[in-house]
Amino acid sequence: MDAIPSLGYALLGLLQQKPSSGYDLRKIFSSTSMRTYSDSPGAIYPALQRLEKQGLIRGAIEQGSGLRRRQVFRLTSKGLAELKKWISSPVASENLVSGPQQVMLRFAFSEGVIGAAASLELLCSLEAALKTYLANLRAEYEALKTVAPTSGRLAFECGLRGTEALEKWTQYAIATYKQQFKKIRGGAR
């Protein structure tokens, strides 16, 4: 089985939340913070075809309400399994090189797919990966800061600060989940 690109997982995650047509998905990409993914038909329709060919989703034509036929896709059990596997695989520090976007996509879907307890596990794995990643960044910074021109040094500091902000967010998110669990366990229902 070939590796599924980022867009494919975004589609799987959205379809898990709610069965949708290609057009629905395009609207989500163009109107929400998922703008980072392409809303062009030339990207989405072929991607849906690939996922269907791999047996991860199944489309059903809906010819009811008089409009042009729409094809509504939903996850198959195989698709759900693939999504779970992707979301729950531990975060490696290499996953952070090209930004946290991919990991964040996994986390955003996690609660609905694998549950809050597993979301927390994902966060802990992210925190550990960040520790090694930040150590490398800081070492590189020490080597660079004496030789680079101001703009180069500042640009590097930008990456460093961004990653530090991500670390703080991770700790905040972990605390949020832990508190949530405490409330549920402690509070009467």
Partner DNA sequence: CGCCCCATGTAAGACGTTACATGATTGA
Partner DNA sequence: TCAATCATGTAACGTCTTACATGGGGCG
Site residues, DNA (CB under 7 A): 2-8, 21-24, 26, 38, 40-43, 45-50, 66-72
Residue 54 partner contact from a second copy, DNA, none using kind-dependent CB cut-offs of 5 to 8 Å: none
Assess 165 for contact with a second copy (CB under 8 A): yes
**Among the residue ranges 19-27, 44-52, 59-67, 171-179, the one whose residues contact a second copy (CB under 8 A):** 171-179
* Nearer Cβ to a second copy (36/49): 36
Assess 139 for contact with a second copy (CB under 8 A): no
Asked if 56 and 78 touch (Cβ cutoff 8 Å), the reply is yes
Residue 71 partner contact from DNA, a second copy, none using kind-dependent CB cut-offs of 5 to 8 Å: DNA
Exposure of 162 in the CB half-sphere (CA atoms within 13 A)? 12
Assess 19 for contact with a second copy (CB under 8 A): no
* Nearer Cβ to a second copy (63/176): 176
**Among the residue ranges 53-61, 62-70, 77-85, 95-103, the one whose residues contact a second copy (CB under 8 A):** 95-103
Residues in the interface with a second copy (CB under 8 A) total 42
DSSP the chain: -PPPPHHHHHHHHHHHHS-EEHHHHHHHHHHSGGGGS---HHHHHHHHHHHHHTTSEEEEEE--SSSS-EEEEEE-HHHHHHHHHHHHSPPPGGGGTT-SHHHHHHHHHHHHHH-HHHHHHHHHHHHHHHHHHHHHHHHHHHHHTTTS-HHHHHHHHHHHHHHHHHHHHHHHHHHHHHHHHHHHHHS--
Residue 22 partner contact from a second copy, DNA, none using kind-dependent CB cut-offs of 5 to 8 Å: DNA
* Nearer Cβ to a second copy (73/109): 109
91: left (phi over 0), alpha (psi -120 to 50) or beta: beta
Give residues in contact with a second copy (CB under 8 A): 32-33, 35-36, 97-101, 104-105, 107-112, 116, 119, 137, 140, 149-152, 154-159, 161-162, 164-166, 168-169, 173, 176-177, 180
